[in-house]
Structure 1
């Protein structure tokens, strides 16, 4: 690895270093030897298991463990990871069946859908649906089909689980999916109309559909993202979550080993201003997973801002941060907000700042106006925001 994009990993937990070493075990090597540092370390096996679970990488870790001298890993540790692996395999089979059923249902209603993750992604990246974890189905449709798709799901027994208030149609760009849950099948399904929450430009559904691929893991073909679009989706999704789960980075490691059209990648990341994020992701994958930086990637990883962002991301690995567990500790929340803002280009920062001037549902809660006067919230929003801020500060002061 070149020094120009080497990150400081000294503060990573030794248990995570062991996991990273396991993930880099080659399938071509019959037996793997750990570094002397790992051999001499006093591993906290409960923490090791917690990290494997947290990062959602127990399928990959379990399948690599047969390359390790069994005396180095306690048998009960392997057994617990194997149990999670088997449970995940069953769950992925269940999701595969439901994915095919929903696809048939949507097709009969002429609703086009693209599967974003789940069993299709596992098969595409790892060649086996059991080698990646997934808790739900993520489906992308055109926003024009959203009402029809929701009606189909509700008729099938799905319950809307992700309600949010909205004002002046801002949900179309501030949000990007709605969650549904089937109480009998125990399946969670996220219905997306955008790849990521806004504001921000991204490929439209029509273009994504043109570049789609076909998966044949079920009897009926399932459509999913083209490789280059998948790269964009995975890096933007992972970056938004601080790469706080190794699973997302392992996905990138697997994807870049495929036959990718890097010229198309460069066009897309330039169009959607993802150069810094792309370089940062490749630097992270190289440092943590030993991903080979090919000559086509050099221009991306050579950006000093990409390395700086990569080093900031190591914070999430050092502290095992779970961004899905709310409320977040104040210091974590502040760090993550600053981190997300640092990912943006100057243009994206301006768009983000200006978007705060667009009314929020909280404005309507603060001062209720008739629907035909909601346009006035554009003028009132700065005052309503100041009023809420003052009330919170006063309440905090009285509580001290």
Structure 2
């Protein structure tokens, strides 16, 4: 769908928390309200749009008001139902001595938007230890869910490189996912970011009057940047999430964030998320952090492409010889990926051409690119 300029400008103003006067002025310029509603729904910001237009009265066509209000009320009901279910699941897991941390969804709405009904209600996502997977699965099944992910006879994943179990409950359509690892790009991202990373720094989050464990804001920021980057930032809501977190936590420990990003190989992913939050949603970013992010030329290039194509071609990847998923990786992970490919992995021909003692076999990783280049140059 080709997005019209007026709809795009209004949604960007909503994302930037622009003052009411400018919101009203931009809304008055909208001619194609159907296009606006479709675009807002596609980017999961229809509820936010409704809240910003709520006091415009007769200036909004009645069918627009009806649809937006219906979406808001439906989301409010789903959010409250998700919160109640999430609290019950966490309690059931706690009773079995299974630690779990909820993330995204209603917990994100409650912790960074300070209103669990503001953000669209999605699935229930829980991070657990892999060692607790079989027991946690039993708890979820007892609540009427059905496991949709293929498993082995012993309850372990049937697919290699798979880090989540997907459950659905037919009675109410609720979806729950158990994860034991937060991944960026699969299978190229090799870091094991799971409960050992998240649990020691957990915070308490108030959800519908109950206390539940939650990620620290520093880890939440990295998780949001991972999630948005994994999906090529194809929805405005994911950029809004990063911007809202930066607004809600002005005292963010940036030293911890950058240290974690370096340790986890997420420096470029973090830079991309921050640049988009700043450029698209006017997020408050410390100048030292912004300069560091702007200094990453690849992150700058990716942010520019995503910003320019956010509405007309969301999810499109930038042109060029290097795939987007590889461009996301920090230098050491990118090198590790290329060294792990069959093209650059030493084989018997390399060893036969350049016999070396076992203690020097690591040199074959330097020899092989040269040998491959010479072979291809001779053709």
TM-score w.r.t. structure 2 length? Answer: 0.78
Instruction: Give the equivalent residue in structure 1 for 2:89.
Output: 102
* Aligned partner (choices 4, 15, 24) of residue 23 of structure 1: 15
**2:375 is matched with which residue?**
none
Q: Give the 3-state SS of the residue equivalent to 1:115 in structure 2.
A: strand
Correspondence list, 1:231-250, <5 A: 231-250=221-240
When residues 248 and 162 of structure 1 are mapped into structure 2, their CA distance, relative to the original with a 3 A threshold, is same
- Determine which of 291, 297, 322 is the counterpart of 1:304: 297
**Residue 214 of structure 1 contacts residue 222 of structure 1 at CA under 8 Å; is this kept in 2?**
yes
- Counterpart in 2 of 1:327? none
Which has the larger displacement, 305-314 or 197-206? 197-206
Q: Kindly provide the CA deviation profile for residues 148-193 of structure 1, in whole angstroms up to 9, marking residues without a partner as x.
A: 1111212222101233789xx9978722211001112321001101
Say whether 1:343 aligns with 2:328: yes
* 1:330-376 deviation line (CA, Å, top 9, x unaligned): x87999x922222123332344456666xxxxxxxxxxxxxxxxxxx
Conservation of the 8 A alpha-carbon contact between 1:238 and 1:248: yes
Task: Flag the 1:165–1:97 CA change in 2: closer, same or farther, 3 A.
Answer: same
CA contact (8 A) 1:32 1:69 kept: no
- Deviating more after overlay: 131-140 vs 176-185: 176-185
Instruction: Determine the C-alpha separation between the residues in 1 that align with 2:61 and 2:55.
Output: 14
Q: Following the alignment from structure 2 to structure 1, what is the Cα–Cα distance between the partners of residues 158 and 125?
A: 18
Alignment equivalent of 1:276, drawn from 268, 278, 286: 268
Q: Give the superposition deviation at 1:16.
A: 1.8
Partner of 1:384: none
Partner secondary structure for residue 117 of structure 2: helix
Deviations 1:218-274 (A, max 9, x none): 454211111111111100110010111111111101111113111101101111222
Task: Figure out how many residues of one structure are paired with residues of the other and give that number.
Answer: 332
Task: Determine the C-alpha separation between the residues in 1 that align with 2:221 and 2:159.
Answer: 24
Unaligned runs of 5+ in 1: 1-10, 324-330, 358-400
TM-score by length of 1: 0.74
Matched, 1:314 2:304: no
Q: 1:114 to 1:33 in 2, by over 3 A?
A: closer
Is residue 159 from structure 1 mapped to residue 146 from structure 2 by the alignment?
yes
Tell me the alpha carbon deviations over residues 295-342 of structure 1, each in whole angstroms, 9 at most, x when there is no partner.
242222332222111012236513354x7xxxxxxx87999x922222
Deviation at 1:202, TM superposition (A): 4.3
When the two chains are superposed, the root-mean-square deviation of aligned CA atoms in Å is 3.0
Considering Cα pairs closer than 8 Å and 6+ residues apart, tell me whether 1 or 2 has the greater RCO.
1
Evaluate the alpha carbon distance shift between residue 95 and residue 310 of structure 1 in structure 2; reply closer, same or farther with a 3 A threshold: same
- Of the three residues 54, 76, 79, the one matched with 2:42 is 54
Deviation at 1:43, TM superposition (A): 3.5
Task: Give structure 2 stretches of 5+ with no counterpart.
Answer: 343-379
- Provide Cα deviations, 1:83-129, integer angstroms capped at 9, x if missing partner: 10110000011101110110111011111000011221101111111
User: What is the Cα deviation at residue 289 of structure 1?
Assistant: 1.3
Counterpart residue number, 1:376? none
Conserved 8 A contact 2:225-2:272: no
Name the residue aligned to 1:390. none
Confirm whether residue 188 of structure 1 aligns to residue 180 of structure 2.
no
Matches within 5 A, 1:15-94: 15-26=7-18, 29=19, 31-32=21-22, 43-66=31-54, 71=59, 73-94=60-81
Q: Is the 8 A contact 1:243 1:316 kept in 2?
A: no
2:245 is the alignment partner of 1:255: yes
2:212 aligns with: 222
